């Protein structure tokens, strides 16, 4: 067996231009992704037709719709399905749709409207309110 001859030292390798090109491409892709996400966040929060505006409009519409079915003392209503599951809808007291006026709102289960009232609706655990009864007189 012969002794192995020492290998001549290698010259330091230079970075290949392809490595630099790959790094630049990766940087451009990362910037594009961050730019797209940033634009989406900005548009969502600031555009009048963006996601935040749509969500706020939907929440406002839902609140307005709920308010139409939660009359306060003195409000006039029309009642959908008065014999089944009645749903009072607030209407203008001067309109032809007005059927009843809310005169009393009684919290608690199984409250009964007195004989001075023409109509009553009992609600049990409806939405954010506990059980209650609404008492109406004809308009």
For the chain, what are the domain ranges?
17-64, 69-138
Range name among 21-25, 47-51, 103-107 with the lowest pLDDT average: 47-51
Which tokens is 112 given? Answer: 């009964």
Task: Give residue-wise pLDDT tens across range 27-77.
Answer: 999 999 999 998 888 888 887 777 777 778 788 877 777 778 889 999 999
């Amino acid at each position: 067996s012969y002794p192995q001859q020492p290998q001549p030292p290698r010259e330091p390798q230079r970075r290949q231009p392809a490595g630099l090109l790959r790094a630049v491409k990766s940087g451009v892709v990362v910037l594009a992704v961050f730019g797209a996400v940033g634009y989406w966040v900005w548009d969502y929060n600031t555009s009048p037709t963006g996601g935040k505006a749509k969500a706020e409009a939907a929440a406002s519409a839902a609140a307005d719709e709920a308010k139409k079915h939660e009359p306060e003392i003195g409000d006039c209503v029309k009642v959908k399905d008065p014999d089944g599951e009645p749903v009072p809808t607030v209407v203008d007291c001067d309109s032809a749709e007005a059927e009843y006026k809310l005169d009393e709102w009684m919290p608690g289960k199984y409250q009964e409207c007195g004989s001075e009232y023409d109509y009553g609706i009992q609600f049990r655990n409806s939405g954010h309110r506990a059980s209650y009864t609404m008492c109406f007189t004809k308009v």
